[in-house]
Copies of this chain bind each other. A is one copy, B any other.
Amino acid sequence: MSEFWTTEVHRDIYEMKYKSLKKLYSQKSEYQQVDVVETKGYGKMLLNDGLVMVTERDEFVYHDMIAHPALFVHPNPKKVLVIGGGDGGTAREVLRHKGVEKCVMVEIDELVVNACKEFIPQTSCVFDNPRLELIIGDGVEYVANTKEKFDVILVDSTDPIGPATPLFGVDFYKNINLILNDDGIVISQAESPYYEVEAQTSLLKVLNQVFQNLFIYNFSNLTYPGGLWSFSFATKKYHPIEDFNEARVKDSELSFQYYNPRIHRSSFSLPQFMLNNCKGLIKN
């Protein structure tokens, strides 16, 4: 079989090309183009609208870092909501925490779930977990209508174009606030601090209108443009470092490939250009 390139185009200035062995899945849903490719260097790769979402090689980074900081700061998270995250990796990490009684996951695009179920068991294995409630539906509507309340909410969205656009708006976060317990924590995918300064600060401004305590933290992904990427950490009560109880990490008996207590703390230390860009918006 002949090899080919899978290409992610970034703003007409940059392309990332992955040598590929086989196209495993390619379908257009009502929301987006969904592809799964077998690459030569990164295992199986999921792309939505041509943007790399997940690869088997580095998905541990993103999923460690979206889930564990909040779940180790909140002293007793029992109910967790994941918005998006159709590959399953985020919910998988959430449910490694034995104290979590229920994880509700609301993914708008069933094709993403189906593609990952068929081709990326490394993340989609979570769909067999009895503590997971998978809802195929619109996260915006879910948070507007649900009567449930949550300790931790993880907004595992794609970029603020296409189906995920409302997930970057103030109405969405006002509803998030209403279904979040009084000591709750909200984590959101917060874009690239190098390439998407406007999208990042725009999200922070929205979060700032709703949450008094707002922070941002970084991680280094292998297959996102520029490598450095951010999550926001919005909280009603807890401080992400002062209220981090390192002993809980050890007590959990969980092992990680990326996350550890020193990474937890240091991920909130920002390069100077980020501090300048986010001035007045965050409490890092």
One of B13, B16, B19, B269 near A265 (C-beta < 8 A): B269
Query: Is the CB of A5 closer than 8 A to any CB of chain B?
Result: yes
In the bound complex, what is the Cα–Cα distance between A70 and B226 (angstroms)? 26
One of B11, B13, B40, B224 near A12 (C-beta < 8 A): B40
Query: Is the CB of A17 closer than 8 A to any CB of chain B?
Result: yes
Query: Is the CB of A233 closer than 8 A to any CB of chain B?
Result: no
Tally of this chain's copies: 2
Query: Is the CB of A275 closer than 8 A to any CB of chain B?
Result: yes
In the bound complex, what is the Cα–Cα distance between A216 and B218 (angstroms)? 19
Q: Are A40 and B17 in touch, CB under 8 angstroms?
A: no
B-side contacts of A224, CB under 8 Å: 227
In the bound complex, what is the Cα–Cα distance between A255 and B272 (angstroms)? 9
Task: Kindly name the residue among A11, A218, A222, A256 whose own CB sees the greatest number of chain B CB atoms within 10 A.
Answer: A222
Bitwise interface map of A from 217 to 229 toward B, beta carbon under 8 Å scored 1, else 0: 0101110101110
Label chain A's interface by main secondary structure. Answer: loop
In the bound complex, what is the Cα–Cα distance between A228 and B58 (angstroms)? 13
In the bound complex, what is the Cα–Cα distance between A3 and B259 (angstroms)? 42
B-side contacts of A58, CB under 8 Å: 194
Query: Is the CB of A258 closer than 8 A to any CB of chain B?
Result: yes
Bitwise interface map of A from 253 to 279 toward B, beta carbon under 8 Å scored 1, else 0: 001111110110111011111010000
One of B11, B221, B222, B273 near A258 (C-beta < 8 A): B273
Distance in angstroms from A18 CB to nearest chain B CB is 6
One of B11, B14, B19, B275 near A13 (C-beta < 8 A): B19
In the bound complex, what is the Cα–Cα distance between A151 and B265 (angstroms)? 31
* 13 residue pairs from A and B, CB less than 8 Å apart: A11-B41, A12-B19, A12-B40, A14-B19, A16-B17, A17-B17, A61-B271, A221-B227, A224-B227, A257-B272, A262-B270, A265-B266, A266-B266
Beyond A228-B228, A263-B272, 16 additional contacts (C-beta under 8 Å) are A12-B19, A13-B19, A13-B40, A14-B17, A14-B19, A14-B41, A15-B16, A16-B16, A17-B17, A194-B222, A222-B227, A224-B227, A257-B272, A257-B273, A258-B273, A265-B269
